[in-house]
Amino acid sequence: MSAAGSAAAGQVEHMLRQVTPGRYDAYEALLQALAADRIWMLLWHGRAGSPDAQYGNMEIDGLGYAPCVTSAQELSASGWNRDHEVVSGRDIARALFPDRWGIWLNPHAPGGGVGIPWLDLRRIATGLDRMPAGPLRISEPAIEIAQFYAQLTQHAHHTPAIRSLRRAWVQPALGAPYLAIGLDLYDTSGPSVDAVRAMMQQSIGTVPEGLPVSTVAMADEYDPVAMWLRVNSRPFYDREPHAPAGRGAAVAPGYGYPQAPGPAPRAY
């Protein structure tokens, strides 16, 4: 490993030691270090690069994780006697989150290591600054902003791309709470997306100063806010009022969702 790589690995292991229950700032710093580092994925079957290679798997509180270690030194300390694969944190995040697998760092360590659920791998894969820090507390909005909802409803009625609108109050683990508007679209073509963006801009002026508002695509099967909205909310605007309120099957509660057998490595 290069000197830069060694320094990055040292930072991951340093941040890993800082993570304790409730220390979301330290956990967020760990995610940032992982996004810039490499990790050693433990192979249960096969060898690195072989067609039959398969990562190990763990299930913790109903969530699936692939075990890994943070350095060659930790690999030696773990006593792992099968093969392994060294990959970047960002690459493994891209490979595992679509199948709802997380990773578990240094499960051999005193205290059992630290798990990174698949929703946080998604944040690493797509950019930590683009999505709120989890776990998220999501509920129905309690704030009264009838004028904003009325404006949205009026403009949505004249925006053919909109099927329905939903709402939620989101409290990230770090950062300010915000109002999320779930956008259910008939299609996601360029003109439709532009029309919906214009609809939001026309309505946002009625939002009280200082109230953050964000949007989420209801079609995003990996977004935790969209998942919550599909299961727990009804539209406040619905172009098809006689259609079923829920879309898709209900999901189990929790920060992520369980997945069965161990994941296979993917080409990067």
Which domains can be identified in the chain, with CATH numbers? 3-130 (3.40.1350.90), 137-238 (3.30.300)
pLDDT tens-digit profile of 148-165?
A: 999 999 999 999 999 999
What's the whole-number mean pLDDT along residues 3-22? 73
pLDDT tens-digit profile of 238-253?
A: 998 755 544 443 343 3
Long-range contacts (CB closer than 8 Å, 24 or more residues apart) made by 250-255: 251/227, 252/62, 254/61, 254/62, 254/63, 255/63, 255/117, 255/119, 255/134, 255/135, 255/224
Coil, helix or strand at residue 163: strand
> In the predicted model, what is the mean pLDDT of the chain?
87
Taking phi first (over 0 means left), then psi (-120 to 50 degrees means alpha), and beta for anything else, what does residue 100 get? Answer: left
pLDDT tens-digit profile of 82-117?
A: 999 999 999 999 999 999 999 999 999 998 999 999
The pLDDT of residue 50 is: 86
* H or E segment and range at residue 168: strand 162-171
Position 27 confidence tier, pLDDT thresholds 50, 70, 90: very high
pLDDT surpassing 80 at residue 225: yes
What's the whole-number mean pLDDT along residues 137-151? 94
Phi and psi angles of residue 2, each rounded to the nearest 5 degrees, phi first: -70, 170
The pLDDT of residue 12 is: 87
The pLDDT of residue 51 is: 87
Coil, helix or strand at residue 70: coil
pLDDT tens-digit profile of 38-87?
A: 999 999 998 888 888 899 999 998 899 999 999 999 999 999 999 999 99
Distance (Å, rounded) from C-alpha 94 to C-alpha 75? Answer: 23
What's the whole-number mean pLDDT along residues 182-201? 95
The pLDDT of residue 263 is: 59
8 Å CB contact between 92 and 266: no
Report for 43-52, 214-223, 233-242: range of highest mean pLDDT: 214-223
The pLDDT of residue 232 is: 95
What's the whole-number mean pLDDT along residues 25-41? 94
